Amino acid sequence: MTSDIREFIKDKKRIVIKIGSSSLQHKETGDLDYTKIEVLVRELCNLRNQGKDVILVTSGAIAVGKKAIGLNKLEQEKGHLGIKQACAAVGQAKLMMIYQKIFAEYNQVAAQILMTKDTIVNEFNRENAENTFSELLNLGVIPVVNENDTVATYEIVIGDNDTLSAIVTGLTGADLLILLSDIDGLYTDDPRTNPNAEFIEVVEHLTEEHLQMGKKSTGSSVGTGGMNTK
Ligand code: GLU
């Protein structure tokens, strides 16, 4: 973490950190980047050791499942929703196993929370989720959150983890949301395709022009969201 970021985080008590699938994988192979995961978890444990409440929102279930099953791109596209859900069921368990192992190495306890749109729009469910988060954080546990892709069909899908992390931030009354991404931030255009795209450091007020700059593309075949959502 750079010293600027450390300074900014100093006074924050409850922090939500979101990491996307493309930031967890090696670009060339789609396999997990264990070094990145290890560094991420170590930083989270360090924040926890400073007495802060930490919540991780992580993607990667579909990506990890896809690799575990040995699915190629065509097979994934052909099967669409059902296949994605099957991949998520396999991948979510594997992903948690990896997180649990590294959190345990740093002496922290992690919990899994899987959410759907129903968790938020249904008042009763929302209250339950709020209570669970609150109890876990009181107990010093680090909640690890993802969308429940295995059952999230069209009607109850949140859709992307950028949105999910914003929902979790509101639900838990966190005072900081950090979106870790494979891109530095907002550019006037997609810098992967336009070399003249300029970086915009701070957006004070969101305008229609800013919204046009953000693209939907994610640079990943398994992630969703993109700069548009951010
Ligand atoms: N929930 C999906 C997964 O874990 C990813 C959603 C997203 O990338 O925003 O694979």
The burial of 61, by beta-carbon neighbours within 10 Å (0-12 exposed, 13-18 middle, 19 or more buried), is given as buried
Question: 176 or 203: which carries more pLDDT confidence?
Answer: 176
Average pLDDT over residues 165-169: 97
Domain containing 172 — which CATH number? Answer: 3.40.1160.10
Is 72 a member of any domain? yes
Nearest in space to 229 (alpha carbons), one of 159, 174, 153, 152:
159
**Residues 46 and 64 both lie in one domain:** yes
53 and 145, same domain (yes or no): yes
In this structure, the answer to whether residues 171 and 206 fall within a common structural domain is no
Q: Is residue 52 part of a domain?
A: yes
More confident call, 207 vs 61: 61
Judge if 205 and 124 occupy the same domain: no
Q: Which DSSP string corresponds to 210-224?
A: HHHHS-S--S-SS--
Are 157 and 200 found together in one domain?
Answer: no
Q: Is the pLDDT of residue 172 over 70?
A: yes
Element (H, E) at 18: strand 14-19
- Among 58, 161, 168, 218, the mutation site with the greatest number of ligand 1 atoms within 8 A of its Cβ is 161
210 in the same domain as 135: no
Total domain count, the chain: 2
Q: How far is the CA of 146 from the centre of ligand 1 (A)?
A: 7
Sign of CA dihedral 163, 92, 172, 21: negative
Same domain, 217 and 166: no
Residue 210: pLDDT band by 50, 70, 90 thresholds? Answer: confident
Q: Which of 21, 83, 90, 112 to mutate to test the pocket of ligand 1 (most atoms within 8 A of CB)?
A: 21
Q: What is the chain's alpha carbon radius of gyration, rounded to the nearest angstrom?
A: 18
> Residue 3's CB: how many other CB atoms inside 10 A?
7
Average pLDDT, the chain: 88
Asked if residue 217 is part of any domain, the answer here is: yes
Domain presence at residue 229:
no
Q: Is 188 helix (H, G, I), strand (E, B) or coil?
A: coil
- Which tokens belong to 69? 């099953």
Burial class (CB in 10 A: 0-12, 13-18, 19+), 149: buried
* pLDDT above 90 as % of the chain: 59
Say if residue 174 is in the same domain as residue 77: yes
Contact 183, 219 (CB under 8 A): yes
Residue 159 belongs to some domain of the structure: yes
Atom of ligand 1 nearest to the CA of 20: 8
If asked whether residues 108 and 144 sit together in one domain, one would say yes
Q: What is the pLDDT of residues 99-128, one digit of tens each?
A: 999 999 999 999 999 999 999 999 999 999
Evaluate: CB of 53 within 6 angstroms of ligand 1: no
Contact by Cβ (8 Å): 55, 17: yes
Q: Which domain holds residue 211?
A: 187-224
Q: Does the model's pTM come out above 0.85?
A: yes
User: 125 and 212 share a domain?
Assistant: no
The answer on 53 and 78 residing in a single domain is: yes
